[in-house]
Amino acid sequence: MDFNAKLQSFTASIEIALDKFVPPSPLPYAGPNRIHDAMRYSLQAGGKRLRPVLLLAAHEALSQQNPTPDPLPAAVAIECLHTYSLIHDDLPCMDNDDLRRGIPTSHKKFDEATALLAGDALLTHAFDLLANNYNSTPALALQLLQTLSLAGNSTHLIGGQMQDLLSEKNTTLSSSDLDYIHLNKTAALVEASLVSGGIIAGASTAQLETLRTGGRHLGLAFQIIDDILDATSTAETLGKTPGKDAAVGKSTYVTLHGLDRARDLAGTSTDLAISSFQQLPDSSSFLLPLTQHLLSREK
Ligand code: GRG
């Protein structure tokens, strides 16, 4: 199967799973449909589905056709947690953005309170999915819960976001401070996606460590490219408002290093990620072309 067909097959299965594993609206029982409308509004607005695709790709690379539990509920859980972080990041008290995934942000479409609750509900739902879809193998459920809660906690995603907010207007941020923010705000969830795929596939501890290392490099490359696109692309292409970081005086890889050096850094992190993934048993793994593809992405 060629690269695009494979990517499309993964994303198609994720879209079906998102519909299946997120509460419908209207619910079959009486209740506030508005919260489920808001959850589905942001989830189904699209997005690249990078994190669930990484989970499925890592699962495929490590399971090598052996029967395993279904990776799709975990893939949906990761996308729910990611979407919560986007909804909250767009709120007026954070980035105050009007556009996400090409449509009005949750608080613009609904209101701030609903957007806050939709984010909270998606976060909770992520753990609900893991706890209830893998409970026939409690050790697996526990490992998945530990992996996702570590990535989303105050020492990773939320800590990275806190540091990012504290660093606003700090135009003299050091390169290692910036790496700290993005290793936690962006790379932690990329790592968790890959590791979760490996866990469901029954990967060894050494293979999980390889996925984690590759994920860290890939996450950093992804963020550097995000900064480059933010400086060079349009709202129409990105589906979100570009140039906001620079406008509020935030340091980015581009403001700190310049465009050319940022491109070099993205290339280096991509190469390091590929070197890690080459150590996995499946030498034709989809993870390799996927990592290369992300370097030249346009949105
Ligand atoms: C509010 C706890 C909390 C965290 C917010 C995700 C985040 C942290 C902020 C969003 C802004 C940003 C640039 C984050 C870096 C990670 C990133 C590039 C997110 C966007 O991910 P994509 O491009 O989005 O995969 P889609 O819409 O394609 O899923």
User: Mean pLDDT per segment of 10 residues, for the chain of length 299 residues?
Assistant: 92 97 74 90 95 97 89 98 98 94 96 98 98 97 98 97 88 86 96 98 96 97 94 87 79 91 96 96 88 90
Residue 29 has what pLDDT? 62
Does ligand 1 come within 6 angstroms of the Cβ of 48? yes
- Contact in structure between 269 and 221 (CB atoms under 8 Å): yes
Residue 248 has what pLDDT? 75
- CA proximity to 102, closest of 242, 296, 293: 242
* Residue from 54, 120, 186 whose mutation best tests the ligand 1 pocket (most atoms within 8 A of CB): 186
Give the integer Cα–Cα distance in Å for 188 and 277: 17
Task: Tell me what the pLDDT averaged over the chain comes to.
Answer: 93
Residue 57 has what pLDDT? 96
Residue 31 has what pLDDT? 65
Question: Could you tell me how far CA 140 lies from the centroid of its own chain?
Answer: 21
- Contact in structure between 177 and 155 (CB atoms under 8 Å): no
Residue 243 has what pLDDT? 83
* Residue from 85, 184, 229, 298 whose mutation best tests the ligand 1 pocket (most atoms within 8 A of CB): 85
Distance (Å) of CA 245 to CA 67, 94, 228, 231: 45, 12, 11, 9
- CA proximity to 250, closest of 299, 181, 189: 181
Does ligand 1 come within 6 angstroms of the Cβ of 50? yes
Residue 234 has what pLDDT? 87
- CA proximity to 297, closest of 14, 53, 80, 18: 53
Predicted TM-score (pTM) of the model is 0.95
Residue 88 has what pLDDT? 98
Alpha helices in 135-283 (DSSP H): 138-152, 157-166, 175-182, 188-201, 205-232, 235-238, 244-247, 253-257, 259-277
Which residue has the CA at smallest separation from atom 13 of ligand 1?
Answer: 226
Q: What spatial distance separates the first Cα and last Cα of the chain, rounded to whole Å?
A: 24
Does ligand 1 come within 6 angstroms of the Cβ of 88? yes
Q: How many CB atoms lie within 10 A of CB 166?
A: 11
Which residue has the CA at smallest separation from atom 4 of ligand 1?
Answer: 85
Give residue 84 CA to ligand 1 midpoint distance, Å. Answer: 10
- Contact in structure between 89 and 105 (CB atoms under 8 Å): no
Give the integer Cα–Cα distance in Å for 78 and 47: 13
* Residue from 166, 185, 294 whose mutation best tests the ligand 1 pocket (most atoms within 8 A of CB): 185
Taking the CA of residue 82 as reference, the ligand 1 atom at the shortest distance is 6
Report which residue type is found at 129: L
